[in-house]
Amino acid sequence: MGKIAFKENQPYHILSRATEGRPIFQNKEDAYRFLFQMYTTNYGSPALNLHRRDVQKAVEELLAGREMPEALYVKKHEPLVHFLSFAQVVNHYHFLLLSNVENGISIYMQKLNTAFAKYFNLKYSRRGILFEGRYKSVAIETESQLDAIIRYINVKNPLDVYQPRWREEGLKDENNAQSFLLEYPFSSFPDIFGDRSSKLLAPEPTRSQFLDRESIYGKKSYEQFLKQPFFGENAFQEILLDDSV
pLDDT score for 51:
83
CA dihedral 178, 193, 62, 207 (to 10 degrees): 160
pLDDT score for 228:
56
pLDDT score for 118:
94
* Domain shared by 174 and 78, yes or no: no
Write out residues in the chain with pLDDT < 50, as ranges: 1-2, 229-239, 245
C-alpha triplet 72, 74, 15: angle, nearest 5°? 85
pLDDT score for 5:
64
Please state, in angstroms and rounded to a whole number, the distance separating the CA atoms of residues 194 and 153: 15
Q: For residue 243, tell me if it sits in a domain.
A: no
pTM of the full structure: 0.88
Please state, in angstroms and rounded to a whole number, the distance separating the CA atoms of residues 102 and 107: 9
* Domain shared by 147 and 204, yes or no: yes
Q: For residue 180, tell me if it sits in a domain.
A: yes
Domain of residue 71: give its range. 12-136
* Domain shared by 197 and 224, yes or no: yes
* Domain shared by 23 and 125, yes or no: yes
* Domain shared by 128 and 29, yes or no: yes
* Domain shared by 170 and 99, yes or no: no
Q: For residue 95, tell me if it sits in a domain.
A: yes
- Look at residue 170 and give its three-state secondary structure: coil
Q: For residue 245, tell me if it sits in a domain.
A: no
C-alpha triplet 121, 95, 82: angle, nearest 5°? 105
* Domain shared by 120 and 31, yes or no: yes
* Domain shared by 107 and 174, yes or no: no
Per the structure, how many domains does the chain have? 2
